[in-house]
Amino acid sequence: MKQYYTISLMLVLFLLNFEIEAQECNNTHSTTTEDSWLSCTLTPNPNPARSSSHWVQYDLGYTYSIASTKFWNYNVAGATAQGFKNVAIDYSLDGITWMTLTTFLLSEADGLVDYLGEDGPDFGGISTRYVLISAIDTWGDGTCAGLSEVRFDLLPLGVELSAKVMLEGAYNPSTLLMDDVLRSQGVIPTSEPFSSLGFVAVNNAVTENIAPALLNTTGNNAIIDWLFVSLYAENDPGTVVATRSALLQKDGDVVDLDGVSSLAFSSVAAGNYFIAIRGRNHLSITSLNAISLGNASLTTLDFTSSATAVVGLNPRKNINGVLLLWAGDATADNIVNASDRAQTWNMRNQSSYLISDVNMDGQCNAADRALTWNNRNKSGN
């Protein structure tokens, strides 16, 4: 059985640009104007596809997956005709690009002190931050339009991802594993390296550091490097919902900062997401299909297998049936071109934890230049 938690939005930015407070107790609503919202001025709708109207826009503060809704129409005694009638619901991740959920008929309130309201449309777990409710018309002449309250039932936050990926630069075909040279040399940092490379964290409050002792682990669970993992919205694939820095084990397992657990996104609600994984100096890869991530189950995604469909033409390197992320991005721009080859030349004969060390052996030399040349004109997806 699915578990939900509820948010009844008491403060909203209304079309007259002021905040109004409403009250709802025991699922009933009063008949006073102080407990209701009313607009008597048509203003431009935030969704440019709609004309000037009476509307309410909710900013939930974060991206949530919404389940069911409940509406209490304008319930002021003797004025219930000012309530919304035909209602349009739009939603957006950024407050700019809007998608329509549905239009529906909202019953006129009964004007009684124990008004129970009614169930509204079900979002079906759609992830969004902004919800726009517009009055197409009212039960009266449309001069004014009001509501008493809207309630959203939200799916609980927190999902986990179990993923597998192999990096070309570290892959050893003879062992079917990746070499952990950087770990054995003691150069892997204990803090995520991506912020210094210009990667942008989204909806991520985690301090991404690891215990130094974690890098003493050997064998298949040895850490070979850091990865950057992004979740994209199913209903808006260009929008990042959340990111995490993760660790990559020698056998390809993508794990959290303890070095063994599946990767947790604590601020993300259960839903369907496109999943992208990128290395410091390897091109990104993105699932072709939106993947279901649930708070009651663990999703496993194997990017080394051809059974996992991904975006792009020839997006992975195939070595004896094992699919790998392309190496060679020595400039962290998700493209392999002449700039990367120049970078490996400019940093030649240096050693340590270098982005130009695209074969991940701890030094930048001719082998790295050759790899950027062999993988030239490729880009991440």
Residue pLDDT, tens place only, 255-292 = 999 998 999 998 888 889 999 999 999 999 999 999 99
Map out the domains of the chain as residue ranges. Answer: 5-154, 157-379
pLDDT at 219 over 70: yes
- 157-379 is classed in which CATH architecture? Sandwich (2.60)
CA 327, 331, 337, 341 torsion-angle sign: negative
In tens, the pLDDT along 81-96 reads 999 999 999 999 888 9
pTM: 0.70
Domain 5-154, CATH class in plain words: mainly beta
Instruction: Please state, as a whole number, how many other Cβ atoms lie within 10 Å of the Cβ of residue 318.
Output: 10
What mean pLDDT, rounded, does the chain reach?
89
pLDDT at 30 over 80: no
In percent, the amount of the chain with pLDDT more than 90 equals: 74
Alpha carbon distance 144, 233 (integer Å):
36
Which two tokens mark 257? 């900062």
C-alpha pair distances (Å), 78 with each of 108, 111, 140, 143:
12, 7, 12, 16
